[in-house]
Chain A
């Protein structure tokens, strides 16, 4: 399953860090962050709960970049 989320982040490098953090979160098969469109596209693992996974993703992203936001 694939979903797209709106995000907010200030710099391109930070967007790259968010992408890495999201990809490292269990339940995420692949995450792509586009800094230009401020969107995160997430493909979930089979059977994962998107809502729960995205809470984790947000937490992990906030760890690497405090001023980021993912609108769930």
Chain B
């Protein structure tokens, strides 16, 4: 609680105590009026002065003004009829209680969302002659060496110069498994150093670093308002004047009708009371507060799960997505090559891998790397001589004194080595010949991510009508991957520009009737990310291009984050709908009851304050997204 809130709480408690005390005091007439004015002014003096200020500046429908009209009206009624001022004081008291609660609840949720995103590092350690010095990370220039001790946050992005440790990136990615880092590897700000001391050479300024950028992004997300929010703003603008006109009508029309048409007593005071109760219900605050709060909590909850949503509007779109378009490479597949098949002919499996790996010992081609990784042995340069690259075909070399050729079918043909087996349809093939004799082949392909299938299934379960895969690969490879993943539609052999065209086609067709989401890795697909209803970039940790281009950013490269993000979005939208229906519903119901005389100002106060309290509490639920599985 801040000072303002504490002061208000004090006033609320004092006024409430006074009110109870006065209830048991047998005073009548003017002294009673004066006594009741003490708690009234105690609790309402700032509302009165704000109302006066509002009138002078032409703010007639200001909520303070309405509250003042309602309570002063009730006091006048008390003066002229039964001398009951309790209601006026109580209404003001409840109004202020509502204000206090709103301020407290919003503050709390601000802080708990803030805590969830507590990745902003407070300081950086510089090494000086007198040991470590803590400085403001803002002052650290790129290229400076900083020291990160165990338990500290990485303040600035950089490269490890010295030391090994494991890093906890949970605050950034939602992934709880620590990652090991050593010299030469990149570390991102916002990660927590767990085990060893690291010396890190910074590569960016503080404000350009991952943690700062993410915080900036989430904070700015609130500025992009969702349709539901704009609806509420427009509604609020009409609602208050409408209810005030309604109040005027209630005060004037029924008495006149009774008087003129029915020939009954006009009952001015009864209808005036009802009109005043109307005014109490006229404040749209419950709505206006709960909707942005829900979105804010939803965005906060998502970022806690490693999903950055760049605006409330995208949360809304994500919730009604019925078609998800995936880019294949780097999204559904790992985007790097692995040996998927070893087919020995003359040598045994292990010897074939070893021979190939040694022949490829000097190459930096991704295929060579994958072969060395598949073998896993310690490469000994002394065993390999006479390495010759045959551009676009492969490599020949002497391994342990024997001539080895490793390359594609064309290389084999040039060396007149017959290849007995047909090339498989998927992936790249490395044929190996030893001393002119065919020895076998390795199939190297991009591998499907282990969680991709699960992710596609989860999307289908979440009501996504169609999943589509776009790829620049040949059709056979694309079909195989799509079949393995359970994806319904494939478009292969596409250039980046074709991908935009395909997404545009889907935007016109709108399978499932909802929004179209595109999921890519942020490399080369920025135009597609921008064109789709909602562009999702994956594995974006540290990739500026992806963070820039996408509407939703999945911080690690697990495709299961997407159904999780959709679940959070849907939950958030459900709460938004609940709050809209609930608060408008209760207000309309209360207006009806008050107009019919079935309820008094007490219920009106509930419609104002009680609904707001419930709506705020409901909104905060969006912070805790359901855990997947």
Contacts and interface: CB of A to CB of B under 8 A. Distances in A.
A21 to B, nearest CB: 10
Interface string A36-49: 11110100000000
Contacts of B219: 34, 37, 39
Nearest to A39: B219
A34 B292 contact: yes
Interface in A1-53: 4, 10-13, 16-17, 32, 34-39, 41
A34 to B, nearest CB: 4
A39 B220 CA distance: 9
A37 B50 CA distance: 24
B365 interface: no
Nearest to A38: B110
B292 A35 contact: yes
Given A10-B103, A66-B50, A16 B288 contact: yes
B222 A12 contact: no
Given A32-B223, A34-B223, A41-B223, A16 B103 contact: no
B467 to A, nearest CB: 34
B57 A36 contact: no
Contact of A12 (B57, B59, B225, B285): B285
Given A13-B236, A34-B222, A64 B289 contact: no
Contacts of A16: 233, 236, 288
B63 A13 contact: yes
Interface string B92-104: 0000000100110
Contacts of B231: none
B255 interface: no
A67 interface: yes
A11 B103 CA distance: 7
Nearest to A11: B285
Contacts of B233: 16
Interface in B264-299: 283-285, 288-289, 292-293, 296
Interface string B216-230: 000110110100000
A11 B102 CA distance: 8
Interface string B52-90: 011001010001000000000000000000000000000
A10 B63 CA distance: 13
A36 B293 contact: yes
Contacts of A63: 57, 59
Contacts of A10: 99, 102-103
Interface in B30-61: 50, 53-54, 57, 59
Interface residues of B, number: 26
Given A11-B102, A63-B57, A36 B285 contact: no
A13 B293 contact: no
Contact of B284 (A13, A34, A36): A13
Contacts of B103: 10-11
Nearest to B289: A12
Contacts of A36: 106, 110, 222, 292-293, 296
Contacts, number: 61
A64 B293 CA distance: 22
A57 B283 CA distance: 25
Interface string B400-428: 00000000000000000000000000000
B123 to A, nearest CB: 22
Given A11-B285, A12-B292, A13-B283, A66 B53 contact: yes
A10 B95 CA distance: 14
Residue of A10, A13, A32 contacting most chain B CB atoms (<10 Å): A13
Contacts of B99: 10-11
A35 B289 CA distance: 9
A64 B237 CA distance: 14
A7 B581 CA distance: 30
Contacts of B53: 66
A13 B57 CA distance: 17
A7 to B, nearest CB: 12
Contacts of A4: 220
A54 B159 CA distance: 42
Interface in B314-360: none
A39 B221 CA distance: 11
Given A10-B99, A13-B236, A36-B110, A41 B220 contact: yes
A1 to B, nearest CB: 16
A11 B292 CA distance: 12
Interface in B221-261: 222-223, 225, 233, 236
Contacts of B50: 66-67
B222 A13 contact: no
A12 B296 CA distance: 13
A66 B65 CA distance: 13
Contact of A37 (B102, B222, B225, B236): B222
B608 to A, nearest CB: 12
A65 to B, nearest CB: 8
A67 B59 CA distance: 14
Interface of B: 50, 53-54, 57, 59, 63, 99, 102-103, 106, 110, 219-220, 222-223, 225, 233, 236, 283-285, 288-289, 292-293, 296
Interface of A: 4, 10-13, 16-17, 32, 34-39, 41, 63-64, 66-67
22 contacts: A10-B99, A10-B103, A11-B103, A11-B285, A11-B288, A12-B288, A12-B289, A13-B289, A16-B288, A17-B59, A32-B225, A34-B219, A35-B106, A35-B289, A36-B296, A37-B219, A37-B296, A39-B219, A41-B223, A64-B57, A64-B59, A66-B53
